[in-house]
Structure formats: structure tokens, C-alpha cells
Amino acid sequence: MYNLANCYERGTGVAKDETEALRLYKMSAAQGDKHAAAKVKELSSTLDAAPPPKAAAKPAKPSSSGGKNKKKKWSKGKVKDKANNAVVFDKITYDRLIKDVPTFKLITPSVLVDRLRINGSLARRAIRDLESKGLIIPISKHKSQLIYTRSTRVEEDEAPAAAAAGDKKAKKQQKKKADEAEDE
């Protein structure tokens, strides 16, 4: 307590406040500190004799012309907004994951974070889930970056469904497969 009171009395590290210093010196003196008791007597007599300080008048502003004024403050660069990415899947995001992601040519956790606005651990988990379902295939599995692409097997499964819908390209693919099957 004594040291803190001393800091308030001198204004070291805190704003100078003699009334707070006196209060802390009294607490320290109550605990048996002899030096604090002496300071209580000293500060009590000075605070009683002197009227409380009035608010200091603001100094006049120097003229803004010429010479060295304040140094120019340089910007610390643009402040990037904190991303508000989802930590768990909601129904809409999960449906987008299942529907859209298998159509991406390049699938990495970074791509999923950017496009689906999910966090990185959720993106890695989603990639593992899509791989286990066979919707995507790995290109490279390095410990620092997982790289996947869409599965061609999914496109082959969708060809008959697209052919029924009237897609000419899908019909040609189906006809080509049928011809190859007959040749064998």
C-alpha cells in the first residue's frame, strides 16, 4: 500500500492525486507501517493548508504557420475486417456443400472457407466427408494443404439422368457407351 500511495503522491505511472495517496497512506498506517503514519501527518497538514487545486487553464495553441509542428502520422495500413465464418453447418450451407462443391474444379479448404464462409476446421472435415462419399477425389494430400477435384464418376452417374431431361451431350455419351458395350 505504501508504494502505491507513493506513486499517487508523486504521479509516477498514475495521475497525481494527493487525496488518493492520503487514503492509501492511512490504510498502510493502519497495518502498522511507521513511514506511512509519518506521511499521513505530512500530507494531512499540506492538504488542510492548501485549497484544492482548480482546473488548469488550457494553454493557448501555437500558431500553425511555419517551423516544425507535429510530425505527420503515417497510416499503419488498411485494417482488415474480421471474417465471421460459421463454426457449424446449418441446413442451407450443408445443402450448398453437397450440391455445389462436387462441381468445383479445384477443391481446397481455402476455397471452401472463401465460398461457403465456414471456418478452416469445418472445411477440412467437409472435404473428408465428401471424399468418403466419393463425390471428390484427391489430387494431393500434403500435411499443409489438401487438394481435391471433382469426381468423374459422379458425372457418369448423372449422364443417364441428364439424358432423360433432353441433354444432347449426355445422350451422345450414353450412346457411345452402349456402342462400346456391343463391341465387346
pLDDT per position as a tens digit, 132-153: 999 999 998 887 788 899 887 6
Model's pTM, two decimal places?
A: 0.42
pLDDT in tens, 113-137: 999 999 999 999 999 999 999 999 9
Q: Cell 442451407 appears where?
A: 92
Q: What is the mean pLDDT of the chain?
A: 78
Q: Say which residue the cell 476455397 belongs to.
A: 111
**In the prediction, which pLDDT does 132 show?**
92
Q: How far is CA 51 from CA 17, 46, 48, 113, in A?
A: 14, 9, 7, 65
